[in-house]
Each structure stands twice: as structure tokens, then as C-alpha cells.
């Protein structure tokens, strides 16, 4: 480890940096990926582990804006492109890069860091907690029948050239009211959401786009791909792969799903990232036809500035708690805090060191509760929150939200 240098890359080293990222994620370097990485990561937002002149580990930070409970938004450090070469495992490189990464984020004023984990056994040790979950769905489209009480209207196709102007506003409105969703700037729209590289398609078509027009304009949209296939008896048996379905009205949501499950030749509908709670199964007469094939951890949250983070979000229950935060990775974040909520607005700050805490909570559990989808009682059963039954009830009521958080973007 003494021979390893960890630092941001230079402009001249950026090509080697992107090549190392691709290798770390078991991919060949593609020019388009290298160009997007260059736009996404100024050199000062990179970290690399150098063994001599060779890059053997990578790290990057994205400037993101996250919706938190109460339709509030907060700047967050997006932790991403984390790799360590197999030749340099068990040397403390990941820990050292993470330490620098989080400290730089804190110095920039970010109260949170967040990531989408490729392996769920890594990031808890650094204080990240699972703040949202997602589901994979397999839908038998030909069997979907909507209940008589569900209003369904027509949707219309839009072109790749005009789609962003049609859907950008509705996305912004839905993202603002959904904890866990990110604001999207021009770069995210161009390089991630609407980018339609051939290597991403895996044999499917290019993106298809449909929108639903509500009374005041577009109030929902869907992005999807199709892949033709045949059953053993020669009948069409293609698949619709959902990239994104966003809707702010019940009619818009039902109309989009009615369209997506009625595409000729494609009776199989697959969704890789659906909200944990979604009304689709309640809209149809046979909810088993909306089968959940997987439930998995999605956005992980790491609280860096406890007082700022807890004072930014809103709460659905008033109350007051004095709690001790345990943080072995960043001891400077640990300590005793007081949170007071009045009228849904929280005020949080450090309390006296000798104050009697109502409960103790590790920073990973605090991240899991932060967006409102966690369960304080379950975390207490796991020993990650310790306090009286009354204090635990207060913690759960204060932090839990009716709106289930959802992160719709893997970054």
C-alpha cells in the first residue's frame, strides 16, 4: 500500500482512467463511453489508485440533486465508477479512496452521498444505508384486463427528435414529489436517458416513445424497446422491455400501461426497475399477471452532515428526539443530536455531549430511514437502532412517509 498513490487524474491521464473503468466493469472501452465519462467527470471529481504509472483503482463523483420528503431537494454526491483491479484486492485501496471521496464531498458542502450498489455487501461498512428498493416485473400483457373503474384513454407516439421537449416538464414535476428521484440536467437527458447506442439494445429495437395528453398537457410518458420472437407453435411471442414509465395522473398511468400491454406481437412485458409500491396490480382484474420476479436494494444513502440533512427534509409527524449517531468510518459525524419537528419542519443540531440520548443509531441505519421508506422497528430488531419502545415509535412515525421513495435511475 505504501507504493500506491491515490489522487485525481490529470487531463493527460483521462484516457487511461476511462479504460480502467471499462476493464473494472468487465467491458471493452467504447469511444462513446469514454466521451461521456469525460463530460460527466471533471478531473477534480475523479480519484485513481496508481501503482507506478498504472491505474489499478477508480472512483468518481457526480453533482446530483435529490428529492427528499416534503418536495425538498438537496445536493448529493453521486458515488460511482468504483473499481479495484483483482491484482490489488485486500490492500485497503477501496477504503482509502472512499475516505478521500467522502471527505472531498463534505468539504464541497454535500450533506449526503449516494450510490447504486453493484454488490450489497460492500458499502454498509462505509456508512451507506439502503434507502430505496425496486422490483422487477414480468407482465403477461395479453392477459391484462383493467377494472371497469379504471379510466383508460389513448396515447400517442412521439419522435426521438421531439420527445425531450414533450416529456421533460412532466418528469420534473413527478421527480419533485417523489423522494429518491433525481433532477435531470441537459447532460443527464442527453447522455443517459435518451442515449440509444446499439450496444445497449441487446438485440432489441431502438427506443420507442409514447405520451399521454392530460387536460393541461402531457402528464405521462413511456420509453420502451421491442424484441420480436416466436413461440414453439409459430405464434408471435415478442417482448416489450420498459426503460421508463412516468405519470402524474391515474388516467395517464393506466393509459400508458394499457398501451404497453397491447402491442401486437409482444405479449411479454418486462420491467427492470419498478417502484416498490405501484398501483398497476390494483388496476387489473388478475393481479397475478403482474408478477414480481425480484425485489432488490436500489439507492443507498450516506449521511455526511447530520444536522443539514435532517433539517432539509420534511416530516409527516411532529415530535422531538435526542439521539446518538454512531459512525466508525467518519467519527467526525458521530455525536449526540437533537431533532425537533414542528409543523413538519425539522430543526437539527448537535446537542450537549452529556445529554441523555433517547436512542442510539448507526449512520447506515440513519441513511436507510432518511428518504422515508425505512422501518425503525425492523432496524431495532437487527440491533442497528437501540432505544426504548416509545423512542423507537417516535423515530418511526417522524421519519416514515406515506410516499414510498423510488430511485428510477441507475448511475
DSSP secondary structure code for residue 363 in this structure: H
Q: What is the DSSP string of 96-134?
A: HHHHHHHHHHHHTT-SEEEEE-SSTTTGGGGT-EE--EE
Whether the per-residue pLDDT at 344 is higher than 70: the answer is: yes
- Vertex 225 angle, CA 219 and 231, to 5°: 130
Residue 118 — very low, low, confident or very high, per pLDDT cuts 50/70/90?
confident
Q: Which cell is 327 given? A: 459512525
Q: Which cell is 260 given? A: 404497453
Average pLDDT over residues 231-250: 94
Strand partners, 106: none
Tell me the C-alpha distance between 4 and 376, whole Å.
41
Q: What is the CATH number of domain 134-295?
A: 3.40.630.30
Whether the per-residue pLDDT at 334 is higher than 80: the answer is: yes
**Are β-strands 335-342 and 112-116 bridged in parallel, bridged antiparallel, or unpaired?**
unpaired
Angle between helices 14-24 and 31-40 (to 10 degrees): 110
E strand or H helix at 320: strand 319-326
Q: What percent of the chain has pLDDT over 90?
A: 90
Residue 198: what pLDDT? Answer: 87
- pLDDT tens digit string along 150-188? 999 999 999 999 999 999 999 999 999 999 999 999 999
Residue 366 — very low, low, confident or very high, per pLDDT cuts 50/70/90?
very high
Residue 2: what pLDDT? Answer: 67
Q: Note whether 20 and 55 are within 8 A (CB).
A: yes
Residue 125: what pLDDT? Answer: 95
Residue 46: what pLDDT? Answer: 96
Q: Do 4-110 and 134-295 fold alike per CATH?
A: yes
Average pLDDT over residues 384-404: 96
Domain boundaries, the chain: 4-110, 134-295, 306-399
Strand partners, 268: 140, 239
- pLDDT tens digit string along 282-310? 999 999 999 999 999 999 999 999 999 99
Tell me the C-alpha distance between 382 and 315, whole Å.
24
DSSP secondary structure code for residue 221 in this structure: E
DSSP secondary structure code for residue 407 in this structure: -
pTM for this entry: 0.94
Average pLDDT, the chain: 95
CATH class of 4-110: alpha beta
Give the full edge-to-edge strand order of the sheet including 72-84: 4-7, 46-51, 54-68, 72-84, 112-116, 299-303, 129-130
Torsion, Cα 162 165 169 175, to 10 degrees, reads: 60
Residue 27: what pLDDT? Answer: 87
Whether the per-residue pLDDT at 32 is higher than 90: the answer is: no
Strand partners, 236: 230
Judge residue 202's burial from the number of C-beta atoms within 10 Å of its C-beta, 0-12 exposed, 13-18 middle, 19 or more buried.
exposed
Q: Does domain 306-399 have CATH number 3.30.70.360?
A: no
Integer-rounded Cα radius of gyration of the chain: 23
Helices and strands counted in the chain (H then E): 12, 19
Tell me the C-alpha distance between 302 and 51, whole Å.
29
**Are β-strands 217-227 and 208-214 bridged in parallel, bridged antiparallel, or unpaired?**
antiparallel
Amino acid at each position: 500500500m505504501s507504493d500506491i498513490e491515490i489522487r485525481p487524474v490529470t487531463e493527460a491521464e483521462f484516457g487511461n482512467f476511462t479504460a480502467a473503468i471499462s476493464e473494472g466493469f468487465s467491458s471493452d472501452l467504447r469511444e462513446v463511453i469514454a466521451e461521456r465519462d469525460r463530460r460527466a467527470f471533471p478531473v477534480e471529481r475523479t480519484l485513481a489508485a496508481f501503482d507506478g504509472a498504472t491505474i489499478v483503482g477508480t472512483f468518481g463523483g457526480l453533482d446530483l440533486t435529490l428529492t427528499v420528503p416534503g418536495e425538498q431537494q438537496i445536493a448529493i454526491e453521486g458515488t460511482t465508477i468504483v473499481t479495484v483491479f483483482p491484482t490489488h484486492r485486500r490492500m485497503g485501496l477501496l477504503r482509502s479512496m472512499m475516505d478521500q471521496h467522502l471527505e472531498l464531498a463534505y468539504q464541497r458542502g454535500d450533506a449526503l452521498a449516494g450510490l447504486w450498489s453493484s454488490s450489497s455487501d460492500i458499502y454498509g461498512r462505509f456508512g451507506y444505508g439502503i434507502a430505496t428498493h425496486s422490483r422487477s416485473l414480468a407482465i403477461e400483457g395479453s392477459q391484462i384486463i383493467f377494472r371497469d373503474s379504471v379510466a383508460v384513454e389513448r396515447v400517442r407516439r412521439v419522435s426521438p427528435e421531439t420527445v425531450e421537449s414533450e416529456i421533460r416538464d412532466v418528469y420534473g414535476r413527478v421527480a419533485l414529489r417523489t423522494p429518491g428521484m433525481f433532477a435531470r440536467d441537459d447532460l443527464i437527458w442527453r447522455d443517459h436517458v435518451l442515449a440509444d447506442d446499439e450496444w445497449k439494445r441487446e438485440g432489441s429495437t431502438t427506443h420507442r416513445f409514447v405520451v399521454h395528453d392530460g387536460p393541461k398537457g402531457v402528464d405521462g410518458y413511456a420509453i420502451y424497446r421491442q424484441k420480436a420472437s416466436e413461440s414453439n407453435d409459430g405464434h408471435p411471442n415478442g417482448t416489450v422491455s420498459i426503460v421508463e414509465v412516468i405519470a402524474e395522473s391515474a388516467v395517464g398511468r393506466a393509459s400508458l400501461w394499457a398501451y404497453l400491454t397491447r402491442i401486437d406481437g409482444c405479449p411479454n412485458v418486462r420491467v427492470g426497475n419498478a417502484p416498490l409500491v405501484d398501483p398497476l396490480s390494483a388496476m387489473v382484474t388478475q393481479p397475478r399477471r403482474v408478477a414480481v420476479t425480484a425485489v432488490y436494494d436500489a439507492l443507498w444513502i450516506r449521511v455526511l452532515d447530520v444536522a443539514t440533512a435532517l433539517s432539509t427534509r420534511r416530516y409527516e409527524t411532529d415530535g422531538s428526539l435526542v439521539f446518538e449517531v454512531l459512525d466508525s468510518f467518519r467519527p467526525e459525524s458521530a455525536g449526540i443530536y437533537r431533532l425537533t419537528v414542528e409543523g413538519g419542519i425539522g430543526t437539527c443540531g448537535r446537542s450537549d455531549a452529556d445529554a441523555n440520548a433517547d436512542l442510539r443509531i448507526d449512520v447506515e441505519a440513519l441513511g436507510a430511514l432518511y428518504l422515508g421508506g425505512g422501518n425503525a422497528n425492523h432496524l431495532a430488531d437487527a440491533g442497528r437502532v437501540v432505544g426504548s419502545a416509545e423512542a423507537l415509535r417516535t423515530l418511526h412515525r417522524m421519519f416514515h412517509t406515506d410516499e414510498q421513495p423510488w430511485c428510477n435511475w441507475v448511475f
